[in-house]
């Protein structure tokens, strides 16, 4: 922020977009494994749209208010780190998903597979 160097701004822009592309690239397959086939479409849509509305919709407003109130970029950086921490905690809680995305929960080998 306020570097006055276009190369630094472009470097941050490129690095940020590479990181964003890495996240967006794996998100559909990861989300599809979180839900059973009977609730996959609505579960993915609800989770994605609510999180987008809350985090993506309010973050710029909150960041602008923080920057206007303090005149410094540090509170905005702390907000970004806090949102990243929330994402990390969510990832830890949802790290274990069933191996077969079509089944609701792990099953024993002696139980017959439910056909829908």
Cα 111 to Cα 72: distance, rounded to the nearest angstrom: 60
Could you tell me if residue 35 is inside a domain? yes
Closest C-alpha to 56, from 24, 13, 30, 96: 24
pTM for the full predicted model: 0.60
- The domain total for the chain is 1
Could you tell me if residue 108 is inside a domain? no
Could you tell me if residue 79 is inside a domain? yes
User: Where are the alpha helices (H) located in the chain, listed in sequence order?
Assistant: 6-34, 40-51, 57-70, 74-93
Could you tell me if residue 104 is inside a domain? no
pLDDT tens digits for the chain (116 residues)?
577 888 988 998 999 899 888 888 888 887 777 777 888 888 888 888 888 888 888 889 999 999 999 999 999 999 999 988 988 888 888 776 655 555 555 555 455 555 55
Could you tell me if residue 101 is inside a domain? no
């Amino acid at each position: 922020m306020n570097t006055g160097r276009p190369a630094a701004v472009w470097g941050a822009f490129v690095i940020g977009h590479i990181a964003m592309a890495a996240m967006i690239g794996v998100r559909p397959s990861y989300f599809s494994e979180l839900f059973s086939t009977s609730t996959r479409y609505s579960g993915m849509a609800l989770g994605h749209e609510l999180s987008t509305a809350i985090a993506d919709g309010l973050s710029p407003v909150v960041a602008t208010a923080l920057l206007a109130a303090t005149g410094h970029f540090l509170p905005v950086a702390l907000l970004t780190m806090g949102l990243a921490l929330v994402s990390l905690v969510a990832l830890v809680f949802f790290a274990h998903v069933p191996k077969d995305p079509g089944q609701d929960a792990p099953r024993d080998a002696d139980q017959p597979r439910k056909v829908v």
